[in-house]
Amino acid sequence: MPIRQVVINASPLIVLFKSGQAELLPQLFEHMVVPQSVYDEITAVKTDAAATQLPTVTWYNQTAVPIDPAILAWNLGAGESAVLSFVLANPAYRAMVDNTAARRCARALGIATLGTGGAIVLAKRRGLITSVGDRLQQLKDAGLWLSEDVVNLFKQQAGEA
């Protein structure tokens, strides 16, 4: 089933804006949600690329999200909790998170996820970019930690290895 709707956590937004790749999001997804807690977390740092650019784009919906008790028990950050709670209540959406603890919680609760690197692979599969290698390096340069094994896996998934 194609991924058309995502709810996005802070980390993917921060590294995509910082690496100059946020323009891929509206090309990849029909509907994007940024929980209020994620928006607040990003815009609190006034000089960050995401903080200055997120308020100016119009391709997402911003919404307050009540935290589901099943998510609350995992003691995640406010943004991760909101993202996973939203998807738990709206299973047609995919949770876009990079945080390991949030991904463990999602897996335990049957919540579908997509990481930032996975979005780059998706962009290649949809013909939006020609190569994932440079794009993944841009994410790493912007602060996303990716091991060489994970980079190689993404390249393989994109048909580049």
Residue 48: its pLDDT value, please? 87
Which residue numbers in the chain have pLDDT < 70? 1
Residue 1: its pLDDT value, please? 62
Residue 17: its pLDDT value, please? 97
Phi (first) and psi of residue 64, to 5 degrees: -75, 140
Number of domains making up the chain: 1
The pTM (predicted TM-score) of the whole model is 0.94
Residue 106: its pLDDT value, please? 97
Cα pseudo-dihedral 52, 58, 64, 65, rounded to 10: -110
Residue 161: its pLDDT value, please? 74
Name the burial class of residue 82, with classes exposed (0-12), middle (13-18) and buried (19+) by CB atoms within 10 angstroms of its CB: buried
Domain that holds residue 129: 5-157
Residue 83: its pLDDT value, please? 98
Q: Give the CATH number for residue 141.
A: 3.40.50.1010
On whether the CB atoms of residues 120 and 139 are closer than 8 A, the answer is yes
Calculate the alpha carbon distances from 60 to 7, 20, 32, 63, 113 in Å: 9, 17, 5, 10, 18
Residue 2: its pLDDT value, please? 80
- Indicate the SS3 state at residue 65: coil
On whether the CB atoms of residues 79 and 37 are closer than 8 A, the answer is yes
- Indicate the SS3 state at residue 23: coil
